[in-house]
Amino acid sequence: MTVSLSILKSLEIVELREQWAVAFGAPPAARLSRAALLLALGWQAQAKIEGGFNRATREQLSRLANQLKAGWDLRNPTTSPRPNPSAGTSLIREWHGTVHQVLVLEKGYRWNDRIWPSLSAIAIDITGTRWNGPAFFGLRSNKPLKQDSCK
């Protein structure tokens, strides 16, 4: 990056977007604020001088990226990954004395002789209240994970 931190602060948002493209090799997201552009560009400038993240931080970021790719909810890192049951899987849930069986299809779910777009829609119909479908059918656990399982 050829622009110093003091100069970055004086640039207009259009110029900051141009600097972003130079620094990161691609244009920034259209909705990225001036403040966010400044923070990222400032960090990038300092990283070039100071050397960037240390090894431990790079490894942690790599683990987080892999967890995100695997379907982890990074906003709540204590929850387990959200598995995607394959077509043909039968999900069974008892609710107020009634057993409900849902068949996973390639696109959607079959329950009560109807095709549904999501497990949440089925859970809402069963309970009459808003539910996270995967949680309702036991596909998502909110139990804390062991520390080493996050690596």
Torsion sign (Cα): 51, 24, 37, 13? positive
> Among 8-12, 67-71, 115-119, 145-149, where is mean pLDDT lowest?
145-149
CB 87 within 8 A of CB 108: no
Residue at 146: amino acid letter: K
Q: What is the pLDDT of residue 146?
A: 46
Count other C-beta atoms under 10 Å from residue 147's C-beta: 7
Average of per-residue pLDDT across 128-137: 89
What's the CA gap between 146 and 116, in Å, rounded?
35
Q: Considering only residues 42 and 141, tell me which one the structure prediction assigns the higher pLDDT.
A: 42
Residues 6+ apart with CB under 8 A from 78: 142, 143, 144, 145
Residues in the chain: 151
Dihedral angle over CA of 83, 87, 89, 91, nearest 10: 70
Q: What is the pLDDT of residue 147?
A: 42
Average of per-residue pLDDT across 135-146: 68
What's the CA gap between 145 and 85, in Å, rounded?
21
Q: Is the pLDDT of residue 148 over 50?
A: no
Q: Specify the DSSP class assigned to residue 53.
A: S
Confidence of residue 47 (pLDDT cuts 50, 70, 90): confident
Q: What is the pLDDT of residue 6?
A: 84
Q: Is the pLDDT of residue 2 over 60?
A: no
Among 37, 6, 12, 34, which residue's Cα sits nearest to residue 22?
37
Q: What is the pLDDT of residue 120?
A: 93
Q: Is the pLDDT of residue 64 over 90?
A: no
Q: What is the pLDDT of residue 79?
A: 55
What's the CA gap between 6 and 2, in Å, rounded?
12
